[in-house]
Structure 1
Amino acid sequence: MPSVKNGSKEQSDKMLRRIMFVTVGQSPRHDLIEEMMQNLDVPLETLEIGALDNLSAAEIEAFAVKDDEASIVTRLADGSNIVLSKSAISERMAKIVAGFRPGEYDLVAILSTGLFRDFESNCPTVNSQRAIESAIISLAAQGSTVGIIMPLERQLQEFDIPALVDYKIVASHARDNDRGQLAAALIDLAETDIIVLNSVAYTEADRAVVARASGKPVILARRIVSSAIRLLLYQAQTIVLPGVTPEFSEKLARLTPRERQVMSLVAEGLSNKAIARQLDISPKTVEIHRSNVLSKMEVSSSNALIRLVITSGHT
């Protein structure tokens, strides 16, 4: 299980916040995690585990998608891609996350935007799929026509988020780092107001290409997850986050460390009960923190809070 430490070597290990990244493929994923970790100026110890780590070729093949199954694409250690059965790999991921001991990590980040399930965890957890889904819903609920780009063409038929049925959603597909496919996808999304790159495989370079070519705001899954990590782990009373507007930073500075944690989990779409389980506090205390967050951030609803977070400079 490889690890990477960020921050000064002179800083005590006791100060390091431990993050476990869980991916659906094989570790290490330097291409993914190192980009996400840029601009974080808090001492971190980052560790990785892949759901396919230490499996033989035959064992990995057992997770391959069948014709009648929903799919998810991921990367192996040799850099090649593999398309997996979403249900089969989801069960393996759930067992891995449930196996972490209470307090073993300051944060667990599930780096997959395709696993539509809650994961039982003994540590505070960022679920990339829930975070991106919450962002899509909040944008669509505002009246925007949301364009979604997914890695595989077959995922267009598999895409099914019941909460989105009443909203204006247009989907297309393109592989990450494929400018030709990204350009073709934008033809399908010409009438949309905002575009979501719906996979953590998409890079900052992909976001820049799509933003320049479309002239539209582009939501990148990696940025949403990085934002959640910042809010959950920063402990100082006053913080300045790279890439956000001064207005947002000023409002954020009003929040206590616990309120920032609650804000991050609210933005992920979690209920008060789910937030209470992750933070080991009562649902009533969560409700008080949620009310304080809405007041201090000057918004009237959780949906408005989510829109504020994702449009504050992370797009």
Structure 2
Amino acid sequence: MTGETVRESSGPDDAAQATPDRPHRVMFVSVGQSPRRDLIDEMLKNLDVPIEALEIGALDGLSAQHIDALRVRPGETSIISRLADGSDIVLSKPRIGERMAEIVAAFSPKQYDLVVMLSTGLFRDFESTCPTVNAQRAIESAIISLAAHGAVVGLIQPLEQQIHELDIPALSPYRVLAAYGREGDRSLLARALMDLSGSEIIVLNSVSFTEADRETVARASGKPVVLARRIVASAIRLLLHDTRPVALPGISSEFMEKLARLTPRERQVMSLVAEGLSNKAIARQLGISPKTVEIHRSNLMGKMEVSSSSALIRLVIGAGWS
């Protein structure tokens, strides 16, 4: 596959269907060019699951002319990503979304144990026959759950024009504020916090933001801060763990005790439920029937002691898992 790069992350040998000789094969699909060591290594660092990480970028293998043709045009919504030389590029969200959809649709069933869509700007579903983490769906679901609980949510966007392009229909009933900040730019992040002074929870709404950014914003604001990378990492962990989860630093013991009640399949369903996927979509990804998904969904809600998907997501965020 053009542009594919491979990197391994090792962890305990008790993870599902993975052995020292056969770690989980996880394909990371990014909007720009691979490799994205800055992004993927940080997520893998804290995962207690043995992973063979493969990467492909939507711009891999394209000529400079073809890449230029995918840049954002007047009237189009935008998304920012990174080229292999480290420079940023602002792309047309709808056209790069189509290219990423084509890449994912070409994967064979069970070719990878997991496919991870590394973008928090593509508001679409991707037809996949492999279990898939859609970063945008995961973070959007978290935002909706927080807002629905009555919290005023502040979003920090990586592009200034995205403040005006923000259009999440499901968020229309809630109060959501947006401001502009960039990865590693403390001055811009501080200015964003001034604009978001009325918010109760802050979401760093791009996988480009780092753990260092989260710590900076949390210290400066004194408010809970949700990091997209943590949301994605927790989804990966839930989908791949096949044994009793191990204790992790910073995660409440009460949450870990509840999580330990779940079967491996229930943890997979829990992660996809948290993305807001329907039973039918979950069934397609996991290769089981919608009725079986419904049973797993009911069982995991009972074991986690929640009555709705929104309550489940708030539990996950509140426990520090994300």
Do they superpose with TM above 0.5? yes
Does 1:140 pair with 2:143? no
TM-aligned CA distance change 1:9 to 1:222, over 3 Å: closer
1:101 alignment partner in structure 2: 108
Percent identity for Structure 1 against Structure 2: 67
Counterpart in the other structure of 1:3: 6
Task: Report the secondary structure of 2:34's partner residue.
Answer: coil
The counterpart of 1:25, out of the listed 20, 32, 40, is: 32
Partner residue, 1:195: 202
Q: Which runs of 5+ in 1 are unaligned?
A: none
Q: Equivalents in 1 of 2:26, 2:221: separation in Å?
A: 35
1:62 and 2:65 matched: no
2:243 is aligned with 1:240: no
Distance, in Å, in 1 between the alignment partners of 2:202 and 2:50 is 33
Unaligned runs of 5+ in 2: none
- Displacement of 1:14 in angstroms is 4.4
Q: Is the CA contact (8 Å cut-off) linking 1:267 and 1:309 kept in structure 2?
A: no
Corresponding residue for residue 224 of structure 2:
217
Whether the 8 Å CA contact 2:110–2:129 is kept in 1: the answer is yes
Q: Distance in 2 between matches of 1:276 and 1:9?
A: 28
AA aligned opposite 2:198 = E
Partner of 1:181: 188
Amino acid across the alignment from 2:279:
N
Aligned residue type for 1:122: T
- 8 Å contact kept, 1:16–1:44: yes
Contact in 1 for aligned 2:139/2:205 (Cα 8 Å):
yes
Q: Is the 8 A contact 1:109 1:128 kept in 2?
A: yes
**Distance between the aligned counterparts of 1:141 and 1:9, measured in 2?**
37
CA distances 1:146-168 after superposition (whole Å, capped 9, x unpaired): 00000111111110000111101
Distance, in Å, in 1 between the alignment partners of 2:22 and 2:166 is 42
State how far apart, in whole Å, the 1-side matches of 2:249 and 2:27 are.
22
Give runs of aligned pairs for residues 69-148 of structure 1, distance below 5 A.
69-148=76-155
The residue identity in structure 2 corresponding to 1:294 is: M
SS of the equivalent of 1:4 reads strand
Q: Distance in 1 between matches of 2:120 and 2:74?
A: 21
Shift of 1:238: 4.4
Whether the 8 Å CA contact 1:146–1:193 is kept in 2: the answer is yes
Structure 1 contact 39–242 (Cα < 8 Å) conserved: no
* C-alpha contact (below 8 Å) 2:12/2:48 kept by paired residues: no
Alpha carbons 1:150, 1:171 under 8 Å: kept: yes
Q: Distance in 1 between the 2:245 and 2:218 partners? A: 32
The answer to whether residue 294 in structure 2 is matched with residue 294 in structure 1 is: no
Aligned residue identity for 1:184: R
Cα distance change on mapping 1:259 and 1:29 into 2, 3 Å: same
CA drift at 1:12 = 5.0
Using the alignment, how far apart are the partners of 1:293 and 1:41 within structure 2?
Answer: 22
Q: How many residues align?
A: 315
Match of 1:47 in 2: 54
Paired amino acid for 1:279: L
The partner residue of 2:289 within 282, 287, 304 is 282
Cα deviation digits, residues 86-138 of structure 1 (max 9, x gap) = 00100000000000111110000000000000000110000000000000000
Q: TM-score of the superposition, structure 2-length normalised?
A: 0.95
Report deviation, 1:301.
0.9
**Cα distance change of structure 1 residues 271 and 12 upon mapping to structure 2, 3 Å threshold:** closer
- Aligned amino acid, residue 5 of structure 1: E
Q: How much does 1:289 deviate?
A: 0.6
Q: Is the Cα–Cα contact under 8 Å of residues 4 and 45 in structure 1 kept in the other structure?
A: yes
Q: Distance in 1 between matches of 2:275 and 2:19?
A: 32
Q: Distance in 2 between matches of 1:192 and 1:312?
A: 20
TM-score, length-scaled by structure 1: 0.97
